[in-house]
Structure 1
């Protein structure tokens, strides 16, 4: 059955109205309108702003405070259902803003986005926010209103959609809010692609989606077929995909800003694109496969970021590489103890076929180092269970070859709520990747623990002398809950972080 709106996630139309609230509401149909009013620390203030907002819909601020005692906790919602009549709205939401910091505003926005699902109009009457606060609130509303696509029969009820229109009533910066919506939509696109069932989503299908996205965004797109991968020596990608009936692909997308010169910064982003991971001959237990349709999240994030770079017109050259393969079980599957010749000629001994992500990534990184001349090379991947064990599902480890790069990524993560924690590239563990029969073993043959670190050390073997960073999003790339900004399935973690980092770089 056809996939629903995957490349165009349903989203609200947005408008900014600095006019008096009464005038804003007068232009909207009150019957399906939700008005959001902020609750600051200590409850509803008696100041003119909130009092005037409530007065527009016939409410007295002191009476509302006494009768409902609305919570100021970030994201807490007190719903007031008003008696129909001449009122300008039928539903008022008192939403807690917590301490007013960006994280709290993002949480409050997500609660409003969820509350507005299926409604015609959501009007948010908030004032006095910084640019960072405005962006956080908008991102929260957009992501809270998002729902994952579903593949339903013709008689099934579709999932709820975000509010048809979101109106920001107050002092909001149009550029700040527009860019925040673009970053949120990049996250939505990455989430949509991550949850596509793998009987639809294979390497060729992902390459086709990349062509569509690239064409509409004006990106240069190149796709390597299986034959071209063989001709050019991408031994890692070919080996991982050898067991599947659907051959692997490598996709390159390029955003080149107008007026780019030789001094324009160039960043290459590499995304892991395992469209389904059985573990190969080192097969996963059944329950371990259930989420493996999302194992291509890194490639989806890179694709979404490249499109957003074009929409935001970032003055940075950005190239994306999607390393796409399905890790399947068959007579042609690669084996433990195989020795692969990777792109560029280095040989790798296979220690476990379920550590396939670093193999396809290594080929793409080696190609980027040899041919693309990046100033910064960065990869993002649902790579190791060790990352999830170490940091859980709230933050991801970041590895980098210099502290300035690590610090910039951590700062971007803090600004977007996509938190990173710097992990070390421990050279004392490098010996564990030594192989007796090849240049390197792709997993630690000597038990040293630190599985996420040794995976990063393996990837470092293929980046040459480039400035390089690695984001291991195995823990944060998937969600088991449908709450706040998150929906079950792929999270799109990293899309907003990377766009913010790239904007700061420019």
Structure 2
């Protein structure tokens, strides 16, 4: 869909997109804009005509603002004036997303980029275009229109090929995470998810993959995963991926909650809260897709990824409120709420990572609590860590990727809520501070890595109720872009 090239001599363009920014000479509050000089010479008279159109169209140059001008019988046949704001990566991402929607019924468009365009701008534009044009449909009906081909015109394409390749990979893996999350749970069993990962990893021969089924999980003591998946006819799985380049100096473990459908178990959810529970594996989708992306980009960091997968169903074999569960490594949890199941599978994965993998850094992503949305709204994840440097690095990567997170405290006063009379821990206290207490529970399984662990509660931002910027209605693939940014920054 997306290519970068110079302008061929005497080339006839059908749709030409030209960038517009707020005028440097504009007074404060003035909405005037100006055409941005492009890297390539435009067809005769095009630049002058576009410059004359800008004030007539009353453009402000804000990111994503678009006006279309028809030119019957001439080339290009249509001019699209595209606002790019301050020209930063975020502004270009918004511009690309708006353009993907405005030009959805076009066969092909050409974008003339500014002469001083930065790699960050190219990346923002490419990701905005590719992510906003995402569609997920399971129907025999014709797909709705979507932008098919885009050429980016620059003077020196080779200078931006690497950036564009990174943007393509990032968008491709984000779209994969969206596909996995959007897929209905009538299809998406734990085995189906494991099969999709196996298929995606087949093109990356250096990526090692192991899938544990119920028998192996039982033999090795993964009691949390087995308990949560025990009520389903589709047994649980644990996917383990390992990207281990020879030049890696840092070992990161990524863990993602993978509940392929959550009824709430015997503590059953009301129907309105249950109908979107196909998204309860968005954390697993994010860490798997980020690992595939890191391998495709050959990032020089070792990554081991764990995706504990289970379907939390209601049946005679479902785990009960009041059960005591023995996790990997022997820690026991008393649970009085089977709808607090995500932390039980994560506890197994965290304990396994600490005991067997011994990484330098430990990160988990989970659609863990509704309290996340109450505290921070629909677009922002909650971040927890005792490591200030790790938290700052992740927050910087999240912001650069165009996602959002806010650091919340791990209040030690709340640890007493986790006390149980019959087990080591109480998994689902009812005293409130739901997202904080869930994070404190997970921390109990991090052992010697407690000061190198970070938890992201990303239930709310994993799903969008409508199109907004680069997001499309449905699964967002939250976390893939942020993780890839962060992984690329590790030396």
Partner of 1:270: 255
User: Within 1, Cα distance between the matches of 2:153 and 2:268?
Assistant: 51
Q: CA deviation at 1:407?
A: 0.3
Across the aligned residues of Structure 1 and Structure 2, the Cα RMSD in angstroms comes to 1.9
Q: How many residues align?
A: 477
User: Within 2, Cα distance between the matches of 1:150 and 1:141?
Assistant: 19
Question: TM-score under structure 2 normalisation?
Answer: 0.93
More deviation, 368-377/68-77:
68-77
Answer yes or no: is 1:91 the counterpart of 2:75: no
More deviation, 395-404/126-135:
126-135
Partner of 2:66: 77
Which 4+ runs in 1 deviate beyond 6 A? none
Equivalent of residue 254 in structure 1, options 242, 245, 258: 242
Answer yes or no: is 1:35 the counterpart of 2:16: yes
Q: CA deviation at 1:47?
A: 6.6
Answer yes or no: is 1:471 the counterpart of 2:456: yes
Equivalent residues in 2 for 1:53-64, closer than 5 Å: 53=42, 55=44, 57=46, 60-64=49-53
More deviation, 421-430/39-48:
39-48
The CA deviation string for residues 240-269 of structure 1, in whole angstroms up to 9 with x for no partner, is 011111000000011111344xxx210010
Equivalent of residue 332 in structure 1, options 317, 320, 345: 317
Q: CA deviation at 1:377?
A: 0.7
Q: CA deviation at 1:291?
A: 1.1
Q: CA deviation at 1:163?
A: 2.1
Partner of 2:229: 241
Equivalent of residue 134 in structure 2, options 135, 138, 146: 146
Q: Secondary structure at the match of 2:148?
A: coil
Partner of 1:305: 290
User: Against the structure 1 CA distance between its residues 399 and 200, is the aligned structure 2 distance closer, same or farther, given a 3 Å change threshold?
Assistant: same
Answer yes or no: is 1:408 the counterpart of 2:393: yes
Partner of 1:453: 436
User: Against the structure 1 CA distance between its residues 414 and 340, is the aligned structure 2 distance closer, same or farther, given a 3 Å change threshold?
Assistant: same
Answer yes or no: is 1:491 the counterpart of 2:447: no
Answer yes or no: is 1:321 the counterpart of 2:306: yes
More deviation, 130-139/273-282:
130-139
The CA deviation string for residues 118-156 of structure 1, in whole angstroms up to 9 with x for no partner, is 433221112123322222122111112222x21113xx2
User: Within 1, Cα distance between the matches of 2:286 and 2:170?
Assistant: 11
Equivalent of residue 103 in structure 2, options 116, 119, 144: 116
2:253/2:353 contact within 8 Å kept:
yes
Partner of 1:6: none
Partner of 1:387: 372
The CA deviation string for residues 43-91 of structure 1, in whole angstroms up to 9 with x for no partner, is 44267549964755486134312432223121111112221x241x222
Q: CA deviation at 1:369?
A: 0.7
More deviation, 238-247/65-74:
65-74
User: Within 2, Cα distance between the matches of 1:340 and 1:59?
Assistant: 72
User: Within 2, Cα distance between the matches of 1:464 and 1:47?
Assistant: 55
User: Within 2, Cα distance between the matches of 1:51 and 1:412?
Assistant: 33
Equivalent residues in 2 for 1:210-225, closer than 5 Å: 210-218=197-205, 219-225=207-213
1:424/1:453 contact within 8 Å kept:
yes
Equivalent of residue 188 in structure 2, options 175, 196, 201: 201
User: Within 1, Cα distance between the matches of 2:36 and 2:371?
Assistant: 51
Partner of 1:232: 220
User: Within 2, Cα distance between the matches of 1:272 and 1:427?
Assistant: 24
More deviation, 174-183/119-128:
119-128
Q: Secondary structure at the match of 1:222?
A: strand
Partner of 1:174: 161
Q: Secondary structure at the match of 1:465?
A: helix
1:38/1:44 contact within 8 Å kept:
no
User: Against the structure 1 CA distance between its residues 56 and 254, is the aligned structure 2 distance closer, same or farther, given a 3 Å change threshold?
Assistant: farther
1:34/1:116 contact within 8 Å kept:
no
User: Within 1, Cα distance between the matches of 2:218 and 2:297?
Assistant: 36
User: Within 1, Cα distance between the matches of 2:101 and 2:302?
Assistant: 36
Equivalent of residue 183 in structure 1, options 170, 184, 194: 170
Partner of 1:130: 118
2:20/2:35 contact within 8 Å kept:
no
Q: CA deviation at 1:351?
A: 2.2
User: Within 2, Cα distance between the matches of 1:418 and 1:390?
Assistant: 17
Q: Secondary structure at the match of 1:40?
A: strand
User: Against the structure 1 CA distance between its residues 189 and 347, is the aligned structure 2 distance closer, same or farther, given a 3 Å change threshold?
Assistant: same
Q: CA deviation at 1:395?
A: 1.6
1:44/1:50 contact within 8 Å kept:
no
Give 5+ residue unaligned stretches, structure 1: 1-11
User: Within 2, Cα distance between the matches of 1:459 and 1:81?
Assistant: 58
Equivalent of residue 366 in structure 1, options 351, 364, 367: 351
User: Against the structure 1 CA distance between its residues 54 and 355, is the aligned structure 2 distance closer, same or farther, given a 3 Å change threshold?
Assistant: farther
Q: Secondary structure at the match of 2:448?
A: coil
